[in-house]
Structure 1
Amino acid sequence: MTNELERLAERLREFARARDWEQFHTPKNLAMALSGEVGELVAEFQWLTAEESANLDPETLARVRGELGDVLLYLVRLADAVGVDLSGAANAKLDENERRYDPTTYRGSARKAPPLD
């Protein structure tokens, strides 16, 4: 993980430890909580038009910011709990996507690429 994500993971570990919440922070529970927070984030955009979603009013933006924070916290905590370097995983996935979606073939296209061999 990057230094900033490592510091955040340590802060989350300490936050959970101070409250004796490690017992609840199993990978299963963290994944479920992450899913719930993603749902709350999606709900903020559910009935907005594409234009409205790109130009959030200050009140909605504040709620979205909070939900994004929740999503990131649970994602970092889950990665830490299962021993995954989140930055490494994201960079590996981006490397894979760069191989799968060459710009010449996929520029301006939303179609899925076939799996890599």
Structure 2
Amino acid sequence: MTEPLDVTKLQRRLAEFAAVRDWQPYHTPKNLAAALSVEAAELLEIFQWLTPEESARVMDDPETAHRVTDEVADVLAYLLQLCEALRIDPLAALDAKIDRNERRFPAP
């Protein structure tokens, strides 16, 4: 049985992957933010000319679903690496942001 995944383990795997390839000098916050933006754009490109209805069914086509899944993984990988570089706990940051949004946009 495999161990459950968590953010810390994934960040450690990403750091180890970069370390064995000597990529750490390139993984500056600026470079990671740029790479995150590029990967987010590649995800957006898949949806660019789809109608709202087509975009809702994007995972129905196995080839497109694979592309979407890969781009989501790339976005998450760079986001987790950026958080690690800046010592941001991504889950705590998200939790705090939801709290702020609930105060900023109260339910009717």
Q: Is the structural similarity TM-score above 0.5?
A: yes
TM-score (norm 1): 0.85
Residues 25-79 of structure 1 show CA distances to partners (whole Å, capped at 9, x for unaligned) of 0000000000000000000000000000001122211100000000000000000
What pairs up with 1:1-117 in 2 under 5 angstroms?
4-56=6-58, 57-104=61-108
Work out the CA distance in 1 between the residues paired with 2:63 and 2:20: 32
When the two structures are aligned, how many residues end up with a matched partner? 102
The amino acid that maps onto 2:84 is D
Larger radius of gyration: 1
The amino acid that maps onto 2:90 is L
Work out the CA distance in 2 between the residues paired with 1:27 and 1:103: 36
CA RMSD of superposed structures (Å) = 0.9
Higher mean C-alpha displacement, 41-50 vs 58-67: 58-67
The amino acid that maps onto 1:63 is R
The amino acid that maps onto 2:49 is W
The DSSP-based 3-state class of the residue aligned with 2:88 is coil
Query: How many Å apart are 1:103 and its aligned residue?
Result: 1.3
Stretches of structure 2 that go unaligned for 5 or more consecutive residues are: none
